[in-house]
Amino acid sequence: MGDVELISSRSQRVGAARRLARRNFRGKERLFLAEGPQAVREAAGHRETLVELFVTVEAAERYADIVGAARDAGARVHLADESVIADISTTVTPQGLVGVCRFLDRPFAEILAAGPKLVAVLANVRDPGNAGTVLRCADAAGADAVVFTDASVDLYNPKAVRASVGSHFHLPVAVGVPVEQAVAGLRDAGVRVLAADGAGSADLDEELDRGTMGVPTAWLFGNEAWGLPEETRALTDAVVRVPIHGRAESLNLATAAAVCLYASARAQRTAS
């Protein structure tokens, strides 16, 4: 590929991709960045999602299958030197591939109409790394959907996209849903809504032992620092704590989410 002309850092395409690091520009264009081989591979395999791919010559040779998949998906592929990739990328050590992708979120009504059995609801989760990790946990546990409430971080924040490690492209996600609407809609759809809170009156182990976890369930996960406010907990069917059997003070958000989602997934498989 030595004779191929590289895209210039002054190109309008590079400038437009660079601006996608900002939320207001992402919202205006309904486009976001996916960085690294795993995210770009998933984007290329997701129908009509990958719009453009910026890739170094070295990365194009190393990941020829991803570049081929991007072209097959109809994306414009731009060869770039490392300085251009660094200019577009939001990471300290870019991996040589940056994709521009269309927004993926679905209407909340569409998620409800599909009859979900396991849902993660992020209520006032502000840290993008946590949000992306919870999305990844929900994907791994086989959840049917994730809901980002209107008080939570942007689904397309670059840190959230990186933390999900491709899970953005695997399951339906609704964004901007008021928490009251999320809870009411899920309950009307026959989904039991549980708040995950370290001060909950119900114990996850006891809920499992009683056989109450096998029904369609949505888990509400709150803010990293202060959890769920009382008015939100009051909306749910139960406030459940993950038991701490050792001396740790608490679990972080993503770990607690993984425990709760996997507990529900196992109970639902047993009940089916």
Residues 208 and 91 in one domain: no
Nearest-angstrom CA–CA distance, 186 and 99? 34
Nearest-angstrom CA–CA distance, 89 and 19? 10
Q: Region 188-200: what's the mean pLDDT?
A: 94
Amino acid at 256: A
Residues 71 and 113 in one domain: no
Beta strands in 36-167 (DSSP E): 50-55, 76-79, 97-102, 118-122, 145-149
Residues 87 and 170 in one domain: no
What domain count does the chain have?
Answer: 2
Identify the CATH number of the domain in which residue 43 sits. Answer: 3.30.1330.30
Is 70 part of any domain? yes
State the angle between helix axes of 253-271 and 128-140 in degrees (0 to 180), rounded to the nearest 10. Answer: 20
Is 236 part of any domain? yes
Residues 31 and 89 in one domain: yes
Residues 120 and 194 in one domain: yes
Is 1 part of any domain? no
For 237, the domain range is: 108-271
Is 5 part of any domain? no
Query: What's the pLDDT score for residue 14?
Result: 94
Q: Per-residue pLDDT for 19 more than 80?
A: yes
Distance of CA 249 to the CA centre of its chain: 27
Q: How far is CA 152 from CA 132, 144, 148, in A?
A: 12, 19, 6
Residues 88 and 113 in one domain: no
Identify the CATH number of the domain in which residue 263 sits. Answer: 3.40.1280.10
Is 81 part of any domain? yes
Query: What's the pLDDT score for residue 4?
Result: 54
Q: Per-residue pLDDT for 176 more than 90?
A: yes
Q: What is the pLDDT of residues 207-227, one digit of tens each?
A: 999 999 999 999 999 988 888
Amino acid at 163: A
Q: What percentage of the chain exceeds 70 in pLDDT?
A: 98
State the angle between helix axes of 64-72 and 37-44 in degrees (0 to 180), rounded to the nearest 10. Answer: 30
CB 105 within 8 A of CB 206: no
Locus of tokens 């999602």: 49
Mean pLDDT score across all residues of the chain:
94
Residues 149 and 92 in one domain: no
Q: Is 200 helix (H, G, I), strand (E, B) or coil?
A: coil
Query: What's the pLDDT score for residue 167?
Result: 94
Residues 259 and 154 in one domain: yes
Nearest one of 140, 174, 149, 151 to 255, comparing CA atoms: 140
Q: Which of 57, 79, 102 is the last residue of a domain?
A: 102
Nearest-angstrom CA–CA distance, 183 and 126? 19
Nearest-angstrom CA–CA distance, 140 and 131? 14
Residues 95 and 212 in one domain: no
Q: Region 81-87: what's the mean pLDDT?
A: 93
Q: How far is CA 131 from CA 29, 168, 209, 223, in A?
A: 22, 11, 29, 10
Q: Region 67-91: what's the mean pLDDT?
A: 94
Q: What is the pLDDT of residues 109-160, one digit of tens each?
A: 999 999 999 999 999 999 999 999 999 999 999 999 999 999 899 999 999 9
Query: What's the pLDDT score for residue 61?
Result: 95
Q: Region 221-235: what's the mean pLDDT?
A: 90
Residues 112 and 80 in one domain: no
Q: Which of 61, 77, 102 is the last residue of a domain?
A: 102
Q: Which residues on neighbouring strands pair with residue 121, listed in sequence order?
A: 147, 220
Is 3 part of any domain? no
Nearest-angstrom CA–CA distance, 267 and 112? 21
Q: What percentage of the chain exceeds 90 in pLDDT?
A: 87
Q: Region 23-46: what's the mean pLDDT?
A: 96
Residues 154 and 243 in one domain: yes
Q: Region 32-53: what's the mean pLDDT?
A: 94
Q: Region 39-66: what's the mean pLDDT?
A: 95
Is 171 part of any domain? yes
Query: What's the pLDDT score for residue 3?
Result: 42
Q: Is 66 helix (H, G, I), strand (E, B) or coil?
A: helix
Query: What's the pLDDT score for residue 2?
Result: 42
Is 252 part of any domain? yes
CA–CA–CA angle 144, 145, 150 (5° rounding): 165
Residues 228 and 204 in one domain: yes
Q: Which of 49, 72, 102 is the last residue of a domain?
A: 102
- Report the predicted TM-score, pTM, of the whole model to 2 decimal places: 0.93
